[in-house]
Amino acid sequence: MSTLLTGIAELVTNDPARREDQADPGDRLLGIIRDAALVVGDSVDGNAGGKKVIEWVGPAADAPDADNRRDLGGRAVIPGFVDSHTHLVFAGDRSAEFAARMTGTPYDGGGIAVSVAATRAATDDELRALVAGRVAEMRAQGTTTVEIKSGYGLTLEDELRSLRIAREFTPHTTFLGAHVVPPEYADRRADYVDLVTGPMLDALLADGLEASPAAYVDVFCEPHAKHAFDEDEARTILTAGRERGLALRVHGNQLGHGPGVQLACELGAASVDHCTYLTDDDVEALAAARGTTVATLLPGVEFSTRSPYPDARRLIDAGVDVALASDCNPGTCYSSSIPFAIALAVREMGMTPAEALYASTATSGRSLGLDRRLAVGEPAELAVVNGPSHLHLSYRAGVPLVRSYEP
């Protein structure tokens, strides 16, 4: 069965092959087709992971026939957002910590222990229901692909079950046993690093973590945060993960200047996330790592911690690959909204609307090893904007304008 989608005022393809005729730099980056049509068919050989597949893309005037037709009424169609950084497996509530921050209490990561205690106390079914609710919330806002980290268990059993539950929702999972040193290891940090790099990694790999198409190890490398990891500890953890065949992600340079960005670039991480405080050397290292290491900016965090926003313009102008993601988590940003991140990036970080959309689809996808474009043969991972162009995503900030779309 095939379905022809018409009434597409603007189609964002992210396809470089569509760039030629575009004068506007934003349209060129996004490979936009106006008055477009799409034909979507059933996946024949399973190459789209059971998803429907794009069979034809182009101007509506040239569209072929199909079994069914749907008119989208003059809306914009974009690639579904790839939220490449989330911590969805947690229980408990930290809204009071947020309220305290809004009146001046700084964020130092100390609240992570509150979420760890609540997560350990939750049953599997409670955690599963919480993740399901958050994933549904994301889909309702245009996200079609999500990465999920562990990191609120911090015992072997609780990290294992966090990742098992995460894998029920996505193939893109990340082991963040090195989120912080848990309270029971406060006086013996080295023992905790040994647990993460030894028994925890062994158990996760035996459980099939590496069988995932994308499996990562991550570390919160931050000298300014309570109980996070220093450069040597982070290097030990990342290297151990890499030796076991995992790809790398790093939480770095979130709360102040630190070693995370340089370490991520040196070790060839797929992504270094936050990048709020950067020296010229950090920017240079990221530019040199282009094609390997993506800088993933998480502006919901700066909003929610009352911190200065990262300078996306500086990074893009230096030639760095910049992605945007939500960082949805109970502490620094309990927002699952990519449109919110886009609006902040455009208003506060010097990104154009086109750059922000590309960053939250193509580049965030690339950091997970995905090619997120709307082209023949690709999975039909679509979102529909209730407006005539992608500009409405930030122009109409705060309005629930975009949802993921299953043709």
Q: Which is nearer to ligand NIG, 335 or 404 (CB)?
A: 335
Tell me how far, at minimum, the Cβ of 38 lies from Fe ion, in Å.
34
Residue closest to ligand NIG, measured at CB: 331
276 burial (CB, 10 Å; 0-12 / 13-18 / 19+) is buried
H or E segment to which residue 9 belongs: strand 2-12
The gap between the terminal CA atoms of the chain, to the nearest Å, is 11
Query: What is the C-alpha separation between 178 and 154, in angstroms, rounded?
Result: 8
Judged by CB, which is closer to ligand NIG: 79, or 260?
260
Shortest Å distance, C-beta 356 to ligand NIG: 20
CB of residue 251 to ligand NIG, shortest distance in Å: 5
Q: How far is CA 296 from CA 48, 331, 375, in A?
A: 26, 18, 25
CB of 60 to ligand NIG, least distance (A): 42
- Please state the closest distance from residue 319 (CB atom) to ligand NIG, in A: 25
Stretch that binds Fe ion, among 10-18, 20-28, 180-188, 322-330 (CB under 5 A): 322-330
Residue 111 interaction partner, one of Fe ion, ligand NIG, none, beta carbon < 5-8 Å per kind: ligand NIG
* Nearer to ligand NIG among residue 134 and residue 251 (C-beta): 251
Pairing type for strands 247-252 and 214-221 reads parallel
For residue 154 the two structure tokens come to 């911090």
Closest to ligand NIG by CB, 294 or 301: 301
Tell me whether residue 192 or residue 220 sits nearer to ligand NIG (CB atom). 220
Q: Which does 26 bind (CB under 5 to 8 A by kind): ligand NIG, Fe ion, none?
A: none
Binding-residue pattern over the window 281 to 320 for Fe ion, x denoting contact by CB under 5 A: ----------------------------------------
> Residue 327 or residue 381: which is nearer to ligand NIG going by CB?
327
How far apart CA 278 and CA 257 sit, in angstroms, is: 6
Cβ closer to Fe ion: 169 or 220? 220
Shortest Å distance, C-beta 24 to ligand NIG: 35
Contact between residue 75 and residue 386 where contact means Cβ atoms under 8 Å apart: yes
3-state secondary structure of 17: helix
Within 10 A of 130 (CB to CB), how many other CB atoms are there?
A: 18
Whose CA is closest to 337, among 274, 382, 394, 386? 394
Smallest distance from ligand NIG to CB 333, Å: 7
The verdict on 327 binding Fe ion (CB under 5 A) reads: yes
What residues line the site for ligand NIG (CB under 6 A)? Answer: 109, 111-112, 115, 220, 251, 254, 301, 327, 329-332
Residue 41 partner contact from Fe ion, ligand NIG, none using kind-dependent CB cut-offs of 5 to 8 Å: none
2 vs 170, which CB is nearer to Fe ion? 170
Query: Distance (Å, rounded) from C-alpha 221 to C-alpha 261?
Result: 9
Residue 12 to residues 21, 122, 350, 395, Cα–Cα distance (Å): 14, 41, 21, 17
* Identity of the residue, 86 or 352, whose beta carbon is nearer to ligand NIG in the bound complex: 86
Minimum CB separation of residue 203 from Fe ion in Å reads 23
**Coil vs helix vs strand at 39:** strand
Select the span of 93-101, 161-169, 206-214, 327-335 touching Fe ion (CB under 5 A): 327-335
Nearest-approach distance from CB 326 to Fe ion, in angstroms: 9
Residue with structure tokens 């919160």? 220
The residue among 301 and 383 lying less far from Fe ion, judged by its C-beta, is: 301
Binding site partner of 364, from ligand NIG, Fe ion, none, Cβ cut-off 5-8 A by kind = none
Count of H helices and E strands in the chain? 16, 14
- How far apart, in Å, are the Cα atoms of 59 and each of 9, 19, 342, 383? 10, 14, 27, 18
- Taking only Cα atoms into account, the Rg of the chain, rounded to an integer number of angstroms, comes to 21
CB half-sphere exposure, 90, CA atoms < 13 A:
25
For tokens 């579904």, the residue is: 80
311 binds, among ligand NIG, Fe ion, none (CB under 5 to 8 A by kind): none
Among ligand NIG, Fe ion, none, partner that 119 touches (CB below 5 to 8 angstroms by kind): none
Q: Are the C-beta atoms of residues 307 and 349 closer than 8 Å to each other? A: no
CA distance 81 to 62: 28
Q: How far is the CB of 192 from Fe ion (least distance, A)?
A: 19
The residues of the shown chain that bind Fe ion, judged by CB under 5 A, are 327
